[in-house]
Amino acid sequence: MKLIVGLGNPGAKYARHRHNVGYLAADAIAAAHGFALWRSKFQGQIAEGRLGDERVLMLKPETYMNLSGDSVRAAMAFHKLEPADLIVIHDELDLAPGRVRVKTGGGAAGHNGLRSIAAHVGPEFTRVRVGIGHPGDKRLVSAWVLSDFAKADAEWLDPLLAALARAAPDLAAGATPRFLNALAQAAPAGEPAAAPPRERPAPPPAPGPAPEAEPARSPLQRLVDRFR
């Protein structure tokens, strides 16, 4: 069994916030694959179904973001799951809007939901990082994540959520390259949703030899130079 967690904050006023893209992804997956109706359990909303051959419990914690680990730990303890069975979908400031990366383990990078989950179950779970972009100034981050997606964002957000839902069986099966390839094929031309691995920049060219200083000339040599 897999536990797929979409992170967000509960309540209608948060529904379209950038911070709630995990909730939006969970809703899209559950709807596309005919999961059972959402119901309250484990301090959140759960829906059960199948993705391919995998039995899946979908969870949207309702503890608010910074206490997401309380809900996740309760679900994992009840079903006797390990961190390897856990997939968390969340917003990512350090990726351009619509780009997606998948990683296992690592730090929280300032994300309170990830920090809470790692504190309860350890860091070795899979994260699906959905880019929402950065406002450009760290002082604006809180207002950025806790505000609605712009209307123009629907041009990439809606197709991305649909593609993510279609490819979810590959995600549940651990077929990460196939999952990311499906997202890349669904992205607008020139804007791949699945971000390629970062390449290390080439080192700068080595500086050439410093020019040699001209040897000093004696007063007699300088006098001769004047009459040449």
Place of tokens 């406002």: 135
Inter-residue contact 100 to 167 (CB < 8 Å): no
Mind giving me the DSSP string for 99-167? Answer: -EEEEES---TT-HHHHHHHHHH-S-SEEEEEE----SSGGGHHHHHTSBPPGGGHHHHHHHHHHHHHH
Residues 6+ away with beta carbon under 8 Å from 101? 92, 95, 128, 129, 194, 195
The one catalytic residue in 19, 33, 90, 111 is 19
Q: Quick check: is 120 catalytic? A: no
User: What three-state secondary structure class fits 194?
Assistant: strand
Angle in degrees, CA 4, 74, 22, rounded to 5: 30
Known catalytic residues?
19
